[in-house]
């Protein structure tokens, strides 16, 4: 029973991880740039919802669109002011560029908000649990997972059924050809960053309901996102989805595993080390991930 | 024999470079006698230490073009080996340091073999992962002190056996000696077969392979050299600070700083890491002491670094030395 | 014993069969041309031989030793050198240093490598540009440097991928002369992919033609130009019948 419970929890968290990974994989699929600042976008999304709901005295779920907007703007600004210029340079510059952005946002947040840990305290669903048979699920996590799933599906629909989405995918596949067809690469790149920033902003807005936000929280999530994207295949949306869920499950099951084998001395924090390790193993053994089409 | 000659042969540097470096060396030699305060001495020691780290990173990151962001794990290995052997078995520094280097090299081969199957972004992320994993292990491992770290016993009398001194001046000359050894090594390295092959790999890996170069193996070798360099620095840190913990010697931040120094100064050039270090270390210390005094400004120092990184990445990835080289060509 | 033997080579890129059971032989000292329309699989064949791709089936035998699936650096050490169609233009190393890297394949001594490299540059008439960087030189020079680099590894078989592309008529003529000199003075067997007929036809002893992944013809240049299948591959059915 505990096993099933852990599994369920894992799936719920996994859906959120998947949403976080979505933005990363879209950006990478578009222009082969790894956005190291992705975790920071998440962190900002978290703070946005936190402060908005606190100051406006509204339920955090309603302030979600604010996180989305902030995320989108952040993505756009990052593209136009930094990434666009990085594209011209060598790869080392690109790596360092988004890395610099990551540090900047992280320490800017530290400067603005201090290092305190914060979490949503007031809200419609905070603290309430749903009882489904023998399982007890936090309403916050459940709603976050469901909304995450919806967001995922919306983006999927956008990319596969709308003209704009198809243009985006065309550029990702072959930007020269798309250019000849009249699809401007620059705008598609920007769009990728807008979607990437927006989705992870939403994810942040959802996560802050049950996870503490602090300036360095981004690092943890970006590593999870990397692992998800690597496992699912860089550039693959389906991959990000399934890999995110898989990692969520692994994460929840690992402490149980530790419990049974008596390897308890490894702190609860250690389960993320497993993720880093997983990334390494996956990428070495199967660089293209489960569904990836890019190497 | 050839190797030694090569190490000391600075003929192919331009006159301004040779003159500049000579003046620099002279200044360093008389530095402790210039009557500067202990703070400045400490900054100078840091500068030389980070130059050492930067030069190490430069072999694989600069000349080799493989951006790796996990050097700190080897600093940690060097530091912990020296610290632990001293605390547990009273092994003198001159024995424990080489052991530390060997452990670092061994570990780098184990990690390097699978690591260099990767390239580009995947590689960079993986290097971060390996460093984080090691740090996490050390944070949780009671045997090596876990998060509390290791305190080295303070000896009553300063000695060369354990490299413990009362005055910073000794440490200064010690790190200076290490620094110059590194310079000589780099001077040899850049002219060696491995150096040439590595540079070719950086330029065009495909072409390198077609010229009989086993790229993967070359990269692993360079990676190991870098790890050895950095482990030496780690060992120094152990005896200098007399206290180490996973946060001070294995942190991701340290890895970033190391790579940043080399990149800012000019990755792939001989003087780059030194220039980068000369610029960033004082900046870091100055910001640290100035901002430390103002309570509300935590994080601003990193913000400045970060802004620097972004600007350099976007507009001048060749670093400061790159700017100098561009001027020279005109 | 043939110098280079390719037997039933197959390379499939997940649906697109780039090489379908290609077989041929090259003898020592020959100059062999490989032609065919775009997309015929010429570069893939090259890459399978030097090891950039691993063939799905078939064998590559060089000097009696099977080298199928050997990695590029291994085939190079066995004695196969290759040039690239597009030399990556870089600014990090000088021309001399570039060629030295090639020379380092056969020696550990830097001074020896330098001497070797200088000699090759002299042979190719590139002495004057020793200290330049690739990005400062015109295409013709870049191509020659790619060639010099490969020659520095002292190959016995030199494989050239469209070495004449991008050259004007005068440069093309020079290239032809250079190739002849290389074959004679360096005693190398040459295997060229070419589109520029002015290069292939005059110097090749035999020409192999690929189309759609298959070998469709092999023989003397003068016979190849009259071969119906070859004409059809390049110009279409109409002309094959008409001529």
Residues of A in contact with B118 (CB under 8 A): 283-284, 287
- Within the 163-222 window of chain C, which residues sit less than 8 Å (CB to CB) from chain B? none
**The pLDDT of residue A22:** 92
Is the CB of residue C110 less than 8 Å away from at least one CB of chain B? yes
- Within the 46-105 window of chain A, which residues sit less than 8 Å (CB to CB) from chain B? 82, 85-86, 89-97, 99-104
Chains C and A touch (3+ CB pairs under 8 A): no
C-beta of residue B227 within 8 angstroms of C-beta of residue B220: no
pLDDT for A70 beyond 90 = yes
Are A96 and B122 a contacting pair at CB < 8 A? Answer: no
Residue with token string 């000359």: B173
pLDDT digits (tens, 9 = 90+) for A24-36: 988 888 888 888 8
pLDDT for A294 beyond 60 = no
Are A90 and B317 a contacting pair at CB < 8 A? Answer: yes
CA–CA separation, C130 vs C117, rounded Å?
10
Distance from CA of B220 to the nearest CA of C (A): 16
Burial of residue C120, with CB atoms counted within 10 A of its CB: 0-12 exposed, 13-18 middle, 19 or more buried: buried
What rounded mean pLDDT belongs to chain C?
88
CA–CA separation, C128 vs B146, rounded Å?
62
**In this structure, what are the phi and psi dihedrals at residue B37, rounded to the nearest 5 degrees?**
-70, 175
| Residue C81 bridge partners (DSSP) | C158
Residues of C in contact with B9 (CB under 8 A): none
What rounded mean pLDDT belongs to chain A?
83
Q: What is the mean pLDDT of residues A44-67?
A: 87
Residue of A nearest to B253 (CA): A103
**The pLDDT of residue C241:** 65
Are B298 and A115 a contacting pair at CB < 8 A? Answer: yes
Residues of C in contact with B14 (CB under 8 A): none
Are B211 and C92 a contacting pair at CB < 8 A? Answer: no
pLDDT for C174 beyond 60 = yes
pLDDT digits (tens, 9 = 90+) for C55-104: 888 999 999 899 998 999 999 999 999 998 888 877 788 999 999 999 99
Give the nearest partner residue to B200 out of C101, C108, C110, using CB atoms: C101
Percent of chain A with pLDDT over 70: 91
Is the CB of residue C87 less than 8 Å away from at least one CB of chain B? yes
Question: In the structure encoding, which two tokens stand for residue B105, read together?
Answer: 């090299």
**The pLDDT of residue A295:** 35
Distances (CA, A) of B28 to A108, B33, B46, B148: 37, 10, 13, 35
| Residue B70 bridge partners (DSSP) | none
Residue of A nearest to B268 (CA): A92
Query: Is the alpha carbon torsion for C122, C125, C131, C133 positive or negative?
Result: negative
**The pLDDT of residue C200:** 86
Residue of C nearest to B215 (CA): C73
Query: Which site among C51, C71, C72 would you substitute to test the B interface, given the most B Cβ atoms closer than 10 Å to its Cβ?
Result: C72
Give the nearest partner residue to C88 out of B197, B207, B213, using CB atoms: B207
Chains in touch with B (3+ beta-carbon pairs under 8 Å) read A, C
pLDDT for A268 beyond 70 = no
Half-sphere exposure of A131 (CA within 13 A, CB side): 2
Q: ipTM, 2 decimals?
A: 0.88
Which has the minimum average pLDDT: A91-95, B222-226, B266-270, C112-116? A91-95
Distance from CA of B166 to the nearest CA of C (A): 46
Residue of B nearest to A90 (CA): B317
pLDDT band at A271 (very low <50, low <70, confident <90, very high): low
Burial of residue B55, with CB atoms counted within 10 A of its CB: 0-12 exposed, 13-18 middle, 19 or more buried: buried
Residues of A in contact with B122 (CB under 8 A): 230, 234, 283, 287
pLDDT for A97 beyond 80 = yes
Residue of B nearest to C113 (CA): B193
3-state secondary structure chain A: CHHHHHHHHHHHHHHHHHHHHHHHHHHHHHHCCCCCCHHHHHHHHHHHHHHHHHHHCCCCCCCHHHHHHHHHHHHHHHHHHHHHHHCCCCHHHHHHHHHHHHHHHHHHHHHHHCCCCECCCCCCCCCCEEEECCEEEEHHHHHHHHHHHHHHHHHHHHHHHCHHHHHHHHHHHCHHHHHHCCCCHHHHHHHHHHHHHHHHHHHHHHHCCCCCECCCHHHHHHHHHHHHHHHHCCCCHHHHHHHHHHHHHHHHHHHHHHHHHCCCCCCCCHHHHHHHHHHHHHHHHCCCCCCCCCC
Q: What is the mean pLDDT of residues C175-186?
A: 89
Chains in touch with A (3+ beta-carbon pairs under 8 Å) read B
**The pLDDT of residue A216:** 86
Residues of C in contact with B192 (CB under 8 A): 110
- Within the 109-148 window of chain A, which residues sit less than 8 Å (CB to CB) from chain B? 109-111, 114-115
Residues of C in contact with B206 (CB under 8 A): 52, 72, 84, 88
CB pairs A-B closer than 8 Å: 143
Are A107 and B308 a contacting pair at CB < 8 A? Answer: no
Q: What is the pLDDT along chain B (330 residues), one digit of tens a residue?
A: 667 777 788 877 888 888 888 898 888 888 888 877 888 888 999 999 999 999 999 999 889 888 899 999 999 999 999 999 988 888 888 899 999 999 999 999 999 998 898 887 788 888 988 888 888 888 888 888 878 888 888 777 777 777 787 788 888 999 999 999 999 999 999 889 999 999 999 988 989 999 999 999 999 999 999 999 999 999 999 999 888 999 889 988 899 889 888 988 888 888 999 999 999 898 888 777 776 666 666 677 778 888 888 888 888 888 888 888 888 776
Give the nearest partner residue to B303 out of A96, A111, A223, using CB atoms: A111
R_g over Cα of chain C: 18
Residues of B in contact with A95 (CB under 8 A): 67, 121, 124
**The pLDDT of residue A273:** 75
pLDDT digits (tens, 9 = 90+) for A175-192: 788 888 888 888 888 999
Is the CB of residue C98 less than 8 Å away from at least one CB of chain B? yes
pLDDT band at C115 (very low <50, low <70, confident <90, very high): very high
Are B125 and A107 a contacting pair at CB < 8 A? Answer: no
**The pLDDT of residue B230:** 95
């Amino acid at each position: 029973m505990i096993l099933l419970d852990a599994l369920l929890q894992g799936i719920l968290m996994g859906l959120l991880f998947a949403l976080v990974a979505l933005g990363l994989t879209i950006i990478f699929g578009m222009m082969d740039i790894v956005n190291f600042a992705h975790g920071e976008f998440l962190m900002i999304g978290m703070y946005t919802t936190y402060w908005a709901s606190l100051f406006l005295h509204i339920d955090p779920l309603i302030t979600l669109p604010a996180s989305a907007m902030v995320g989108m703007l952040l993505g756009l600004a990052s593209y136009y002011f930094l990434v666009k210029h990085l594209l011209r340079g060598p790869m080392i510059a690109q790596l360092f560029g988004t890395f610099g952005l990551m540090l900047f946002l992280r320490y800017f947040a530290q400067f603005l908000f201090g290092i305190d840990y914060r979490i949503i305290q007031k809200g419609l669903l905070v603290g309430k649990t749903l009882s489904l048979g023998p399982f007890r699920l936090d309403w916050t996590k459940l709603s976050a997972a469901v909304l995450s799933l919806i967001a995922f599906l919306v983006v999927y629909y956008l990319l596969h059924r709308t003209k704009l989405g198809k243009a985006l995918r065309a550029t990702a596949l072959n930007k020269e050809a798309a250019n000849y067809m009249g699809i401007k690469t620059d705008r598609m790149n920007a769009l990728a960053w807008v979607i990437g920033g927006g989705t992870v902003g939403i994810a942040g807005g959802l996560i802050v309901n049950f996870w503490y936000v602090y300036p360095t929280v981004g690092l943890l999530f970006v590593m999870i996102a990397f692992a998800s994207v690597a496992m699912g295949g860089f550039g693959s949306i389906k991959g990000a989805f399934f890999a995110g869920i898989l990692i969520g499950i692994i994460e929840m099951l690992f402490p149980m595993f530790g419990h049974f084998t008596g390897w308890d001395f490894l702190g609860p924090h250690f389960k993320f080390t497993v993720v880093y390790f997983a990334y390494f193993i996956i990428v070495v053994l199967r660089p293209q991930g489960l569904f990836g089409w890019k190497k | 024999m050839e190797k030694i000659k090569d190490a000391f042969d600075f003929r192919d540097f331009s006159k301004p470079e040779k003159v500049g470096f000579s003046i620099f060396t002279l200044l360093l030699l008389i530095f402790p006698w210039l009557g500067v305060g202990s703070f400045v001495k400490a900054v100078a020691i840091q500068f030389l230490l980070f130059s050492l780290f930067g030069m190490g990173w430069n072999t694989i990151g600069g000349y080799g073009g493989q951006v790796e962001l996990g050097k700190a794990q080897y600093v940690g290995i060097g530091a912990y080996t020296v610290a632990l052997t001293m605390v547990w078995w009273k092994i003198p520094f001159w024995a424990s340091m080489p052991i530390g280097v060997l452990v670092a090299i061994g570990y780098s081969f184990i990690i390097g073999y699978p690591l260099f199957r990767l390239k580009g972004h995947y590689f960079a992320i993986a290097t971060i992962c390996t460093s984080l994993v090691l740090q996490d292990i050390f944070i949780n491992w009671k045997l090596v002190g876990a998060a509390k770290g290791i305190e080295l016993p303070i000896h009553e009398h300063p000695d060369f056996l354990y490299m413990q001194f009362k005055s910073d001046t000794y440490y200064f000359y010690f790190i200076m000696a290490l620094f110059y050894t590194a310079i000589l090594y780099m001077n040899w390295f850049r002219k060696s077969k491995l150096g040439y092959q590595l540079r070719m790999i950086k330029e065009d890996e495909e072409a390198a392979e077609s010229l009989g170069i086993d790229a993967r193996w070359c990269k692993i070798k360079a990676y190991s050299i870098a790890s050895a360099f950095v482990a030496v620095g780690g060992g120094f840190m152990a005896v200098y600070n007399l206290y180490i913990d996973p946060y001070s010697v294995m942190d991701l931040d340290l890895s970033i700083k190391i790579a940043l120094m080399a990149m800012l100064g000019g990755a792939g050039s001989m003087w780059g890491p030194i220039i980068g270090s000369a610029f960033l270390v004082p900046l870091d210390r100055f910001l640290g002491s100035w901002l430390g005094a103002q309570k509300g400004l935590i994080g601003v120092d990193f913000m400045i670094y970060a802004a620097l990184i972004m600007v350099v990445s976007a507009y001048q990835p060749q670093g400061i030395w790159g700017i100098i080289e561009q001027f020279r060509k005109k | 014993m043939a110098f280079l033997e390719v037997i039933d080579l197959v390379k499939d890129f997940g649906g697109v069969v780039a090489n379908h059971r290609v077989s041929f032989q090259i003898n020592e000292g020959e100059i062999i041309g490989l032609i065919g329309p775009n997309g015929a699989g010429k570069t893939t064949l090259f890459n399978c031989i030097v090891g950039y791709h691993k063939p799905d089936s078939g064998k590559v035998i060089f000097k009696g030793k099977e080298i199928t699936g050997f990695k590029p650096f291994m085939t190079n050490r066995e004695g196969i050198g290759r040039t690239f169609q597009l030399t990556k233009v870089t600014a990090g190393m000088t021309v001399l240093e570039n060629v030295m890297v090639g020379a380092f394949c056969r020696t550990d001594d830097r001074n020896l490598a330098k001497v070797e490299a200088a000699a090759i540059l002299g042979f190719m008439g590139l002495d004057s540009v020793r200290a330049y960087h690739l990005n400062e030189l015109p295409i013709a020079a870049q191509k020659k440097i790619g060639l010099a680099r490969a020659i520095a590894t002292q190959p016995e078989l030199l494989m050239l991928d469209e070495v004449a592309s991008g050259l004007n008529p005068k440069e093309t003529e020079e290239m032809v002369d250079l190739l002849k000199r290389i074959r004679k003075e360096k005693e190398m067997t040459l295997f060229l992919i070419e589109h520029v007929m002015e290069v292939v036809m005059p110097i090749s002893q035999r020409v192999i033609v690929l189309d759609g992944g298959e070998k469709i013809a092999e023989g003397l240049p003068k016979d190849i130009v009259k071969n119906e299948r070859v004409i059809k591959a390049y110009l279409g059915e109409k002309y094959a019948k008409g001529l």
